[in-house]
Chain A
Amino acid sequence: MKNIQEMSDNSLVQAYITGEERCLQVLIDRHKNKIYSYILMLVKQQELAEDVFQDTFIKVIQNLKRGKYVDNGRFASWVMRIAHNLVIDFYRKQKHMKVVSNDDNDYDLLNSTKYAESTVEDKMVYSQILSDVSELLELLPDNQKEVVKLRHFMGLSFKEIAEETGVSINTALGRMRYALINMRTMVEEKNISLTI
């Protein structure tokens, strides 16, 4: 293989598909600023941009591994198109969030601290919980970890997970069950608190 840095995007993609993982790093390094800037210009929030950037490349990886990339010499455009779809999906979901008015009721069901805006402390604890869960996730066997990520991080149904991972729905469900059992055990053994 010639100098990896001099390879074209398409050559890198082809090499990556055949198992050359380091080619992905080169592709990301080559285009990350453009892709990230594009997302940031659309969403205007750094944390959201980071999330979308990560989700975009997870989709890129999945599509590449499924052979869904057709080279037209515009790899970065293809990636931006994926980012575009994720951003539009995000705002479409936001649009469908219902606004409920409670003005006509004497008893204010929603007047509870439970529904109040999170405090800074709550947000910090929540962030730490997510971090803890992510760390626990990494300790699971690969097949269980994959199911949890596809289900909870990417929102796939068990039918989709079964198709994605090439197993039956029952196997996917079983792996999720064992993943939860294992994570609960780790939480108990390590005395970790996962509540706000």
Chain B
Amino acid sequence: MNSNATQDLAKLEEYSLALIDFFDSLPKSFFDDENLSPPQRIVDHIVRYSKSEVSSLQNNSKLYRFGVN
């Protein structure tokens, strides 16, 4: 007998697959909203991963924490 968790997972899977078809049926303009956009840094990570680029130390981001803990 399935546990509740297993049943929930099966429902999620069914819902998730149905959602793909639903999203496919929506016009592209439906998603033209900056609130539906992932952060640019995530996109940049992906592009850098694809290029296997090494990021520069000199990018003004905080790199090291000296003497913490």
Contact = CB atoms under 8 A, between A and B. Distances in A.
A17 B27 CA distance: 28
A57 to B, nearest CB: 4
Interface in A139-159: 139, 142, 145-146, 149
Nearest to A58: B49
Contact of B69 (A40, A57, A58, A193): A193
- Which 8 A-B residue pairs are closest in the complex by CB-CB distance? A33-B31, A36-B38, A57-B46, A33-B36, A95-B5, A193-B69, A138-B55, A80-B20
Contacts of B13: 84, 88
Given A88-B12, A95-B5, A95-B9, A38 B19 contact: yes
Contacts of A146: 52
A193 B68 contact: yes
Given A36-B38, A132-B64, A77 B20 contact: yes
Interface residues of A, number: 49
B17 interface: yes
7 contacts: A37-B31, A40-B36, A41-B19, A53-B38, A53-B42, A54-B45, A142-B52
A131 B68 CA distance: 15
Contacts of A80: 19-20, 23
A61 B5 contact: no
Nearest to B59: A135
Contacts of A191: 64, 66-67
